[in-house]
Amino acid sequence: MNRIRRFFRNNSIQTKFAVVMAMMLIIILVVNLFIYIQTNVMVERIDSVFSSNVTIGELTETLGRVEDTVYEYLNTKGSGALENYYRFSQDYRNLIEELNSQNVEDRVLMLEKSIREMSESYLATADETVQAKRGRNVEKYKNSYAQEAELFRYINNYIYELNSRQFERNSENYRFLLSSLGILEIMALTLIVVVFLLSGFIGMVLVRKMVHPLVELSETAREVAEGNFSVKVPQVDSEDEIGIVTKTFDQMLSSIRAYIVRIRSSLETEARMKERELSMEAHLKEAQLKFLQAQINPHFLFNSLNAGSQLATLEDADATALFLQRMADFFRYNVQKTGGESSLQQEIGLVDNYIYILNVRFAGDITYRKEVPDDVGDPDMPGMILQPLVENAVTHGIRDRMDRGIIRLQVEKEEDGLQIIVSDNGVGMTREQIRRIYEGTADRSGEDGSTGIGLGNVINRLSLYYNREDLLTIHSEGEGTEVILFLPKMEKG
Amino acid sequence: MKKGMTIMTGGVVLITVLLAALYLYSASRLARLTQQNTGTHIYDRRYAFVSMDQSELWQAIYDSAKEQAELENVYLEWIGQDLVMNYTLEDCMKIAVASKADGILLNPDKSGEAEEMIASAAEAGIPVITLLDDKGENSRISYIGVNSYQMGELYGKQVLQCLKEEDNHIVVLTDQMTDNNNTNLLYSQMLQTIENGNNRNHTYDITLYQINTATSFDAEEDIRDLFIQADPVPDIMICLDLVSTECAAQALIDYNEVGKVTVIGSYASDTVYEALEKGILYSTISVDTGEIGQLCVTSMNEYHNLGNVSNYFNMRLEVINQKNVAKKRETEEPEEQPGLQAGRLIFGQAG
């Protein structure tokens, strides 16, 4: 049983079909051959039923020839007749050798025995007759011939009797065999029907066994075609083509499922990126809008300042010329970098200009301390980040105490980036103010004396640029505010 | 899958069973045919039974002999009985000799050729035992039969029982072909017995009436002639064979002579038994046919085995009449084989 199961599991459809068909054909062949042989034996037996009558006919004929030749020899003493006599008597001897010689319990066979014994007596008498004739012993051969003729008559009668009985028996045998053949035919027919039904059943079972997984697979495929990728593929343990197709289909379905997950993930990522891009774009637009609103003044101021600087130079008022030049640089930078990319040193330069301008404005009251190590380099960063922080420190921290106000800018190199600290010793910020700055609702852009860029805007642009949220923290406990900005190290390219 | 496998296994088993059944059926039928066509039992010897008389008597003797022959592993063949051709006794004896039988059990007919045939068989080295009629004393090895002297005495005793006060006309129906010596001995002994036993001096006369049994139907005509032509009709009629006994019984009925003529039949067939029961026949004298049949086969075997056998076996005689016929039939019927009727040789005496 296990071997059959293994066979059906491990072999291809072609092999299975071939083996099962071969087996069915062998069974059909064997059965038919068997029926043919049995029927043939019976038919041959029927054919041979009356052969014994033919043999008896030969016996009568040969006996008649012997008797005729004896008579002919006695009549003519011809050598031809004598020769024929010897020949026919030998033939007859050969024929009677085939007859029964035993005392058996069968009337027909006992008739054969009687015929055989009488024939031997007859042939002996015939020999005596012929010998007497050759010796010209007239009386003896006449007596002998009379005895022989008598025996001839008895034998003929016995042969006739044997023939009749044999015919009667053969007829019985014939009827017996015919009836047997009839029953044999019915049995053979039954056998053929059983073989036919079994073959049909085996074929049906085989086809069903092989097609069933295919039907299940097609049902699964239909569901998949309708979009149900979570359908379970039927389990198949066979190694044939259907098994391979089913397993491959299962693998393909798994791959499709994994691919869909990947696509979905990719789409989600893409959506998030698009959303970020749109957000960046919105912030940029917002910044640009604000700068466009203020663009007229900076350009006008920028050109006017340049004109003023040149005039001051012509008049040898160098301090005024420097001031105007710094003003012009400040506004130029403002116009060029707002919303765009800049570098750390440019941002620090901008802060320097801003502090200079403020000191000119407020008569050098603001103390500005800059701690920038040489090894921090000049990494890229978004423009207009540091100036708003410093501006915030001035505006909200030391505005009312300019004479004692200290602004500190520190740049520290960290392992994974740069830490920039802008601190002041001003009035400090409340928790509510800090919260509102984080939430972006404390933007005071456009206020008098401001460049127009609030801390909320700075925080948003930083998170969009670095794709991180925690880059800017504000510490303020009572007096003084410390804004810590972290610039992560960016991979080039 | 399991159900399918069960059905397939069942199918294969069914096919195997059908194949086996087909083969066994075919083989058994052919074997039966072969067995029918070839005798399975082989006998040691083959004896020829020769009797032209195929009456119930000889059929019973043959059946008994056949039964005994089976017991002693001998094949017994009644020569000429089942053949289409009609053979004479001479033919049958010649066939028996030519077919080299191991022995011949012979019922000699009335013809004189029996002795010659017995001599021919003896010359060919085939032993012959004669039954009920002794012929060829010099050539045959043994004789099994009855003693004519005893028979004559029994006839005489039966006649004495039937004699009337007036004159008694006694007729003995004799066969023209019967051996005169035996008939004379029987006749003389019967006369002697009647004379010695006739204490009341009844008057009687005894006539021999010859009937012809050589050809068919003659016996019946002769007996009817006796009833028509005889004057007076005999008081006592003695028949020496079954045919004349049955004819006499029928003639008594036909000519309304029942009770007037006392008939002693010679054979014990159903007809004879019936006639005895109805009082048509007076009595019969029989021998045991079964004993004759057994003895002839046993004696022949004894001769083959020992080289000699007793020259003469005398069979016991038995009188059957109306008183004991029923008992006799009762004892015989269970022994009878289907299709066979018991025959008894009866020597009768009219009263």
Q: What is the pLDDT of residues B42-94, one digit of tens each?
A: 899 999 999 988 888 888 899 999 999 999 999 999 998 877 778 888 899 99
Q: Looking at the complex, does the CB of residue A190 fall below 8 Å from at least one CB of chain B?
A: yes
Name the DSSP class of A225.
H
Chain B CB contacts of A128 below 8 Å: none
Q: Residue A120: exposed, middle, or buried by beta-carbon count in 10 A (0-12, 13-18, 19+)?
A: middle
Q: Chain B residue closest to A192 (CA)? A: B15
Q: Would you state the pLDDT for residue A295?
A: 52
Tokens 């300042």 map to which residue?
A305
pLDDT band at B300 (very low <50, low <70, confident <90, very high): very high
Contact B99 A114 (CB under 8 A): yes
Mean pLDDT of chain B: 83
Selection from B329, B318, B317, B347 nearest residue B159 by Cα: B347
Burial class (CB in 10 A: 0-12, 13-18, 19+), A454: buried
Q: How confident is the model at residue B262 (pLDDT cuts 50, 70, 90)?
A: very high
Nearest Cα residue in chain A from B100: A117
Q: CA distances (Å), A419 to each of A378, A410, B282, in order?
A: 13, 8, 168
pLDDT at A296: 54
Tell me the C-alpha to C-alpha distance, in Å, between residue A330 and each of A299, A301, A302: 12, 11, 9
HSE-CB of B267 using CA atoms within 13 angstroms: 23
Q: Which parts of chain A register pLDDT below 50?
A: 444-449, 493
Going by the DSSP 8-state scheme, the letter that residue A376 receives in this structure is G
The pLDDT value recorded for residue A283 is 76
Highest mean pLDDT, choosing among A294-303, B121-130, B160-169: B121-130
**β-pairing, B312-314 with B317-321?**
unpaired
- B297 pLDDT above the threshold of 50: yes
Amino acid symbol at B304: H
Residue from A449, A458, A443 nearest A338 by CA: A458
Domain spans in chain A, listed from the N-terminal domain onward: 2-217, 340-488
β-bridge mates for residue B78, sequence order = B49
The per-residue pLDDT for range B180-198, each reduced to its tens digit, is 677 788 888 988 998 898 8
**Neighboring chain A residues of B89 at a CB cutoff of 8 Å:** none
pLDDT at residue number B341: 38
Tokens of residue B49, six digits = 């039974």
pLDDT for position A446? 44
What is the fold of B148-288+318-335?
Answer: Rossmann fold (3.40.50)
User: Domain A340-488, what fold?
Assistant: Heat Shock Protein 90 (3.30.565)
Residues of B at the A interface, defined by Cβ within 8 angstroms: 1, 4-5, 7-8, 11-12, 14-15, 18-19, 21-23, 25-26, 29-30, 33, 36-46, 75, 77, 82-85, 91, 94-95, 97-100
Mutation site for B-interface testing, chosen from A104, A186, A197, A210 by largest number of B Cβ within 10 Å: A104
Asked if A102 lies within 8 A of B42 by C-beta distance, the reply is yes
Q: By C-alpha distance, which of B231, B271, B223, B279 is closest to B251? A: B223
d(Cα A350, Cα A331) in Å, to the nearest integer? Answer: 9
Chain-chain contact of B11 with A110 (C-beta, under 8 angstroms):
no
- DSSP assignments along A2-49, one per residue: HHHHHHHHHS-HHHHHHHHHHHHHHHHHHHHHHHHHHHHHHHHHHHTT
CA distance A278 to A293: 22
Residue B267 is classified by DSSP as: B
- Reading the block at residue A16, the tokens are 């299975």
CATH code linked to domain A2-217: 1.20.120.1730
pLDDT of residue B123: 92
Q: CA of A20: how far to CAs of A14, A26, A31, in Å?
A: 10, 10, 16
CATH number of B45-146+290-316: 3.40.50.2300
Query: Would you say residue B103 has pLDDT above 90?
Result: yes
Largest CA distance in chain B: 113
Model confidence pLDDT, tens digit, residues B202-250: 888 888 888 876 665 777 888 888 888 877 888 999 988 778 888 888 8
Residue percentage of chain B with pLDDT more than 70:
89
**Position B284 pLDDT exceeds 60:** yes
Mutate to test the interface with B, among A47, A103, A155 (most CBs of B within 10 A): A103
Answer whether residue B17 shows pLDDT above 80: yes
Tens-place pLDDT, residues A92-135: 999 999 888 888 888 888 899 999 999 999 999 999 999 999 88
Which residues of A are less than 8 Å from B42 in CB distance?
Answer: 102-105
DSSP 8-state assignment for residue B334? G
Using only C-alpha atoms, what is the Rg of chain A? 67
How does DSSP classify residue A487? E
Neighbour-count burial of A179, counting CB atoms closer than 10 A to its CB (0-12 exposed, 13-18 middle, 19+ buried) = exposed
**Token pair recorded at residue B185:** 């001995």
Q: Domain segments of chain B: what residues?
A: 45-146+290-316, 148-288+318-335
DSSP 8-state secondary structure symbol assigned to residue A398: I
Residues of B in Cβ contact (< 8 Å) with A4: 5
How far is CA B180 from each of CA A434, A436, B188, B189, rounded to the nearest angstrom? 177, 176, 12, 14
Mean pLDDT of B299-316: 91
Mutate: best of B17, B70, B72, B95, partner A, most A CBs <10 A: B95
Task: Give per-residue pLDDT as tens, B312-347.
Answer: 999 888 888 899 998 888 877 654 443 333 333 333
pLDDT of res. A262? 93
Q: With contact defined as beta carbons under 8 Å apart, do A125 and A142 qualify?
A: no
B148-288+318-335 has the same fold as B45-146+290-316 = yes
Residue B96 has pLDDT above 70, yes or no: yes
Helical (H) or strand (E) element with A353 = helix A344-361
